[in-house]
Amino acid sequence: MTEELEKKEKSLDIILEKYALKEKKNIMLEKLAQISQIIAETESEIAEKTSQRTKLAEESFKESGSEVEIIQQADVKYRTFSKGLSSAMPISEEERQRDLKDLKNVMEILESLEETKYLKDQKTVDVARGLFFDKMSQKINSIINELNLRDHKIIPNDRLIFHSLKSIHQLKNEDFDSIFNIMKETGFFNDFIEVNPELSLIVFKREKLSFNQSEKVLLAFAYAEDYLTPQKLMELTEWNNDFAMKVINSLKEKELLTIYDENIKIDGFGNVDERKKWNEFIENQIKQEKEDFERKRGRQKEREDEFKEKMRLKQQKLKKIEDQRLK
């Protein structure tokens, strides 16, 4: 291998080390080694042929002694040697278009390499998120144990979300659906029941627990209202007394409802001040997450615009090269 080739290979090694993707670097190094080997073999072959022709010329000089004859023989040998070599310049429009297409392909490869700086491998992201959610489910289970939340048969999901967000700052409100699904699958709680779009319940009771539509209506009002008496329940729902008491007694039998000082209370729902605290905190959290998202989207838009500008300049450069070749 020539000194010049060694320098070029060393330079390429540095470029690969600095810019090549880690998982593709070994493959690219292997291809580089193969290319270097081909170049070395080609140089060796050319050197050998040149040596042979020099030797023949010297022998010819000794035999003939005629300078004119030597020049003529050398001319024949040179033409024979160079006959198989083609010009680097395109000899036809078809070849020029093919060269231009190859150049465009190289540009597309460069563009894709540039774009990977802003795109993530979705599979890797999904695996990482799965591991994160699993770890968070373990931490949330510790919170459940510390606060003795399993003493209740049910709790509103906002209660657990509130305590989790207060204790684990890496969490976002949008993470909880995935985390709660994992916790249900792993047995940290028994079920997850949606009462309405604003209220979902985490079920710790091991026995199967379900609610009909009327029971869900009562649960929703018990959570939303500051003070819910049987009379107020009938006014809100337009139920008659018999039906209202039937629904109330059904939840009593499930050991979820009590009436104290005419106020309907659901075990696990906390008092009105606690519910307000949970809801206000979560609303502020959602608002903050939305603002953070908008800022990130703005930065992403700036990066996308920067990338598009780079591609535009590259296309300009490509067009300039093409125009120069047409002249």
Q: DSSP label at 256?
A: -
Q: Which H or E element spans position 264?
A: strand 263-266
Q: DSSP label at 105?
A: H
Residue 201's DSSP bridge partners are 156, 193
Question: How many Å from the N-terminal Cα to the C-terminal Cα in the chain?
Answer: 38
- Distance, in Å, from the CA atom of 239 to the CA atom of 192, rounded to the nearest integer, reads 28
What is the pLDDT, as a whole number, of residue 266? 96
What is the pLDDT, as a whole number, of residue 327? 64
Helix (H/G/I), strand (E/B), else coil: 254: coil
Domain residue limits, the chain: 1-80, 93-205+274-327, 211-270
> Is the pTM here over 0.85, yes or no?
no
What's the pLDDT band for 324 if we cut at 50, 70, 90?
A: confident
pLDDT digits (tens, 9 = 90+) for 234-283: 999 999 999 999 999 999 999 999 999 899 999 999 999 999 999 999 99
Contact between 245 and 230 under an 8 Å Cβ cutoff? The reply is: yes
Phi and psi angles of residue 269, each rounded to the nearest 5 degrees, phi first: -85, -10
Between 210 and 325, residue with greater pLDDT: 210
Mean pLDDT is lowest, of 8-12, 44-48, 228-232, for: 8-12
What is the pLDDT, as a whole number, of residue 39? 61
Domain over 211-270 is classified CATH 1.20.120.160: no
Contact between 175 and 157 under an 8 Å Cβ cutoff? The reply is: no
What is the pLDDT, as a whole number, of residue 20? 47
Q: Domain spanning 93-205+274-327 has what CATH number?
A: 1.10.10.10
CATH fold match for the domains 93-205+274-327 and 211-270? yes
Query: SS3 for 44-103, per residue?
Result: HHHHHHHHHHHHHHHHHHHHHCCHHHHHHHHHHHHHHHHCCCCCCCCCCHHHHHHHHHHH
What is the pLDDT, as a whole number, of residue 84? 46
Order of strands, sheet of 199-203, starting from the edge strand that comes earlier in the sequence: 154-156, 199-203, 191-196
pLDDT digits (tens, 9 = 90+) for 113-171: 555 555 555 666 677 778 888 899 999 999 999 999 999 999 999 999 999 999 998 89
What is the pLDDT, as a whole number, of residue 19? 46
